[in-house]
Amino acid sequence: METLVDLSRLQFAITAMYHFIFVPLTLGMTWLLVIMETVYVITGKQIYKDMTKFWGKLFGINFAIGVTTGLTMEFQFGTNWAYYSHYVGDIFGVPLAIEGLMAFFLESTFIGMFFFSWDRVSKKQHLLFTVLVAIGSNLSALWILVANGWMQDPVGTVFNPITMRMELLSFFAVLFSPVAQAKFFHTVCAGYVTASVFVLGISSYYLLKKQDLPFARRSFKISALFGLFASVAVIIMGDQSGLYVYHAQPSKLVAIEGIWHTEQAPVSWSLLAWPDREKHENTFDIRIPYAGSLMLNHNFTDPVKGADEIIAENKQKIIKGQQTLLELEQFRKNPQDTSLVADIKANSEYLGYGLLLKKYTDNVADATPQMIDQAAEDTIPNSWPLYYSFRLMVFFGISYFLLFSIATFYSFGNRTSFETKSCLLKFALYWIPTPWLASWAGWFVAEYGRQPWTIFGILPTYQSASSLSSGELIFSLTGFFVIYTLLLVVELYLMFKYARLGPSSLGSGKYHFETQEK
């Protein structure tokens, strides 16, 4: 069972991270295309149309695999997480379905128009199509992050002992959950940063190669300025997201920060440490005084709870959950007797904690004190992977702010001086892969940090998977790995080919490689 759950998690992680290679670029590129095309519609200058078309081409190569890998995500909850789907489909399915109806249709219908309707509609109408693609892709991010936000902080829901699942109480609580909203803005802004780094880096390549300078210069400036705004926003929204982690998921916070014992204000912040999960302490620790209070909970009076205290609290919840689970079993055996229902509903918030015991015993009535202690210890995810991926993400986040500040300063200050700053251009080019690392690190913090839960405090990961065989999982993992690798090879081949070619690939006869051949 444990292997099966681990394999299912591995498959989800691989397919989701692979999908997220393509998503952030889509989120940001669509708006960059809107900006470029808007300038074209206003000024009527052909070069901005060429920019829209060329960057649109690269966007399209990326988008194809984004669509493909998105299919997996829509169906994987059913194939591999059947109990999860049963247990929370009443709530979780809603944003996914609305995402399809409201966002995917819009995005996918008009993406075709973006590529193929240039000669069939007016300039303004085409711009409208581009805007609709951008709105569609960003709306789809909204709904998926509403769904994910609910997994992190499951509001507006109630347990029903007859159907054995969580049911929706308030859609608006789910939709306007501050956790979901902060996550949405943080994620789309990360996408805007990704696209800006992508365009800035490739434009730098043309500037270094001295090819298509007017084209590259304009692309560089647009992405620098857009990226500057986006990088500020991603930092602010990241900080907001962190504040909600402090409130809604203290167990994630202590793992990210390596806080083992409750700390009184003002709390310092650990800059570099080695968190030791077993001993509940940091082997070495370089700390910045006051910074913890500033960053983690935004005030200098409240303490920050440590892992020890959280584990002790959760132990009590597990004991209550054990009782509630036993009552639930009794009720399921004899559903006519409704005397227990009121009590089950009143204590349903502890049910999930009771389910944590199922990892150690099928019959929770038999759980020993050691099992309860172990289950309570489990409620804190392993610290060091979170500690370091969080700091990696923050490091990259700050690097984008610096990169775009410098790029904006030089490119807008003196019209062409930045073209000779080969250090800056090279840095921008080689920094292209980093936003993906930052996004992955961010998602890792969000998802691994939620362990041992799929739905925080409600459904343990261990309980969520389908009852498949390990053989089926090995088969599917192998299949995904092979197909995804092939797709990535083809995608990167085309991406590099077209990025190197630059606007010459449009076949208009005006650009570098075309004029050289003549």
Kindly state whether residue 39 participates in binding another protein, applying the rule CB under 8 A: no
Q: Which residues contact 448 (CB under 8 A, 6 or more apart)?
A: 381, 382, 385, 386, 389
Kindly state whether residue 167 participates in binding another protein, applying the rule CB under 8 A: yes
Quick one: residue 156, left, alpha or beta (phi over 0 = left, psi -120 to 50 = alpha)? left
Kindly state whether residue 360 participates in binding another protein, applying the rule CB under 8 A: no
Identify the residue among 169, 271, 272, 398 touching another protein (CB under 8 A): 169
Kindly state whether residue 375 participates in binding another protein, applying the rule CB under 8 A: no
Output b/e per residue, 476-497; b: 16+ Cβ within 10 A.
Answer: bbeebeeebeeebeebeebbee
Kindly state whether residue 504 participates in binding another protein, applying the rule CB under 8 A: no
Site for another protein in 83-122 (CB under 8 A): 83, 85-86, 89-94, 96-102, 104-106, 108-113, 115-121
Residue 163 main-chain phi, psi, to 5 deg: -90, -10
- Smallest distance, Å, CB 336 to another protein? 11
Q: Which stretch binds another protein (CB under 8 A): 65-73, 194-202, 406-414, 441-449?
A: 65-73
- Smallest distance, Å, CB 165 to another protein? 8
Q: Which stretch binds another protein (CB under 8 A): 158-166, 231-239, 257-265, 415-423?
A: 158-166
* Integer Cα distance of 183 and 148 in angstroms: 9
Q: Please name which of 99, 100, 86, 27 lies closest in space to residue 59, comparing C-alpha atoms.
A: 27
* 313 class by beta-carbon count within 10 Å (0-12 exposed, 13-18 middle, 19+ buried): middle
Residue closer to another protein by CB (options 412, 475) is: 475
Residue closer to another protein by CB (options 102, 294) is: 102
How many residues bind another protein (CB under 8 A)? The answer is 82
Kindly state whether residue 268 participates in binding another protein, applying the rule CB under 8 A: no
Kindly state whether residue 171 participates in binding another protein, applying the rule CB under 8 A: yes
Residue closer to another protein by CB (options 447, 491) is: 491
Residue 513 in tokens = 């490689």
Site for another protein in 216-235 (CB under 8 A): none
Q: How many CB atoms lie within 10 A of CB 286?
A: 11
Residue 76 in tokens = 């994987």
Output b/e per residue, 322-357; b: 16+ Cβ within 10 A.
Answer: bbbbebbeebeeeeeeeebbeebeebbbbbbbbbbb
Residue closer to another protein by CB (options 117, 368) is: 117
- Smallest distance, Å, CB 483 to another protein? 6
* 124 class by beta-carbon count within 10 Å (0-12 exposed, 13-18 middle, 19+ buried): exposed
Residue closer to another protein by CB (options 102, 265) is: 102
- Smallest distance, Å, CB 330 to another protein? 11
Site for another protein in 293-352 (CB under 8 A): 329, 332-333
Q: Please name which of 260, 258, 270 lies closest in space to residue 295, comparing C-alpha atoms.
A: 270
Kindly state whether residue 388 participates in binding another protein, applying the rule CB under 8 A: no
Q: How many CA atoms lie within 13 A of 269 on its CB side?
A: 15
Site for another protein in 176-215 (CB under 8 A): none
